[in-house]
Amino acid sequence: MTRWVTVADLERCVGCQTCTAACRHANATSPAVQWRKVLDIEAGTYPEVSRTFVPVGCQHCADPPCMHVCPSSATRRRADGIVTIDYDICIGCAYCDVACPYQARFKIDAPRFAYGTTATRNEIEREDPGRLGVAQKCTFCSDRVDFGLANDLTPGVDPRATPACVNACIADALHFGDLDDPDSNVSRLLREQRHFRMHEEVGTQPGFYYVYAKADAPTPPVSDPAEEPVSAAPGLRTKGVEPWHQQHWDWKAAGNFICGGAGSGLFAFAAMASMQPDAPLALGWAALAIIALGLFLVLLKIGRPWRSLHVFRQPQRSWMAREAWIAAIFFPLAALAAWLESPAMMIPAATVGLGFLFSQAMILKEARGIPAWRTPRIVPLILITGLAEGSGLFLAVSALLPSLSQMVQMTAASAVTLAALRACAWRSYLGDLTKGGAPTRSLAVLDALRPWFFVLGLAVPSMLIAVAFLAPAVQTPLFFFAAIGIFAAGVALKLVVVTRAGYNQGFALAHTPVRGCGIAGPQVKPGWSRPRTR
Amino acid sequence: MNCGAADRLGIRDGDLVEVRSPLNHTKGRVMLCEGIRPDTLLMIGQFDHWVTPFAKDLAAPSMNALMPMLLELTDATGSSADLVKVNVTKIGGAP
């Protein structure tokens, strides 16, 4: 077997960015895109200063989250470990972008040129429209590797068979080779040197190793993430290293989570109400329209809307494809149930609708590049929030429609119960994030939401509903405004979680390199809160 | 520019500064770091791009604007370092 990997020697890299330039040249990438780049971390104060340069890019993981989430099967992993993207299949949903913990993926929708609006002749000749609106990333120069193998050359040894960045390295810091061959250049290096892989804790098993000290060097201090002052190290200059906000999932993506939750929740309540005589079945149609609106918003967001049917291609792995399949079952079933006004069909349809809601929760959980989304506690939070939003909408309608007046008190009681459960799920979600450690800016955004969420989403609605039970004469407006509060808090929650708290993983080093003599330095993980242990 | 030196001059990261040599002046945005002598500025834009069709008007500070390219001042490796005494004044905040 073959496993192609790259090894970056942190003791040798001088941060010249020649690899970056060589990659740009070899792959004709846009100025908005850097498949290979080099981070610059400076520590200490003058004159005791150290700098560490860290080449980053696609890590060609053995367990790549980008591939697992890809709904279209565009992202695949070859038997030799190279993770590939088929530009002709990709729909440009950018799910892989938020699933990658290494910020290795890019998507641009329009050509960009190095010097303003005018393209150079070289740029005109090499512009590839097939790469617009789809995901792109480092390919490990698979074309060069394949050329080499076809011509009996050894990748990593013969430059014609080796990635451009490795060829270009002036400091012999980048190496490429076969990890499964014990005699290969990279296997030998990894035997002779201490090394780590980035973000091991995420479990992606990258094919990218960082060498930081000789194997016989003194043992570096053990980095305990709870002990090391990783974020507040004095004089640490880490521009571009700490987490930044994900770029691709905007309010339209949040809109799908909002509409999907509110719609499937509302449909569940409409199904229960359908067992009552003369219940307004138009509610079922309204719920369907809300869900459809959410999916339509997504269609506006993706890079290649005309290929959107490719979303169905990969249900065996991707929760986004599963979401599409469940929607494809739910819509006809629910429409038929609403059309026939049949309670016996509304209930199974509502169950499928809850499956849709569950798939949305799983979509966020599987986005392993965003720490505030990937926690398992997001699943109950999204599920309960969807039901609470649905109950809010249903209560608002029940308060206004005489035909539902018999149910309104029961609806109010269940809405307030769901709001309380949602507050518990939110608390447990935030507690889990704080305990496990998260990007500090994600935590700041969520902390700022916390009081509003409590007041608007639970305290005020509970009070209004309590008063309404005591004073039935004014219950209509009280129930209505309580319902709006419960609904709006759910909307705000998802909008903030998706579009404001979605900071990515950033970059981190398990050790800083020796650089000459001495021992390797501690862990560097800027922009993260410390996990709270015990 | 060195962080400590900038702090003493009231200059922060990203501020717009004017750099003046005995002959001429240029301006640019400050990038701070610790790994540079406090009495030294480093200017990357060594050759001004005033003719090249694409690279001009990049708003990068230029050594050419501060001093002419004099053979007497050019080192043996071919101008890997052009040096001149300057003063530096803050003229605007970070964008």
* Buried residues in A43-73 as b, exposed as e (16+ CB within 10 A): bbebeebbbbbbbbbbbbbeebbbbbbbbbb
B54·A115 Cβ contact <8 A: yes
Residue A22 has pLDDT above 50, yes or no: yes
Of B33, B34, B54, nearest to A120 by CB-CB distance is B54
In B, which residues are within 8 Å of A118 by CB distance? 54
Residue A420: closest CA among A394, A384, A390: A384
Q: What is the pTM of this model?
A: 0.91
Contacts of A465 (CB under 8 A, 6+ apart): A412, A413, A415, A416, A478, A479, A482
Residue B86 has pLDDT above 60, yes or no: yes
* Percent of chain A surpassing pLDDT 90: 78
Mean pLDDT calculated for residue range A447-468:
95
pLDDT digits (tens, 9 = 90+) for A416-432: 999 999 999 999 999 99
pLDDT digits (tens, 9 = 90+) for B6-40: 999 999 999 999 999 988 898 889 999 988 999 99
Of A118, A120, A235, nearest to B34 by CB-CB distance is A235
Q: How far is CA A419 from CA A392, A413, A424, A490, in A?
A: 9, 10, 9, 9
Which region among A182-191, A222-231, A374-383, A444-453 has the lowest average model confidence (pLDDT)?
A: A222-231
A46·B35 Cβ contact <8 A: yes
Mean pLDDT calculated for residue range A489-506:
97
pLDDT digits (tens, 9 = 90+) for A70-97: 999 999 999 999 999 999 999 999 999 9
Q: Name the 3-class secondary structure at A318.
A: coil
A45·B38 Cβ contact <8 A: no
B65, B58 in Cβ contact below 8 A?
no
pLDDT at A516: 67
B54·A118 Cβ contact <8 A: yes
pLDDT at A240: 86
Residue A230 has pLDDT above 50, yes or no: no
A300 φ, ψ to 5°? Answer: -70, -25
Mean pLDDT calculated for residue range A241-256:
96
Distance from CA of B3 to the nearest CA of A (A): 9
Q: How many whole angstroms separate alpha carbon A127 and alpha carbon A35? A: 16
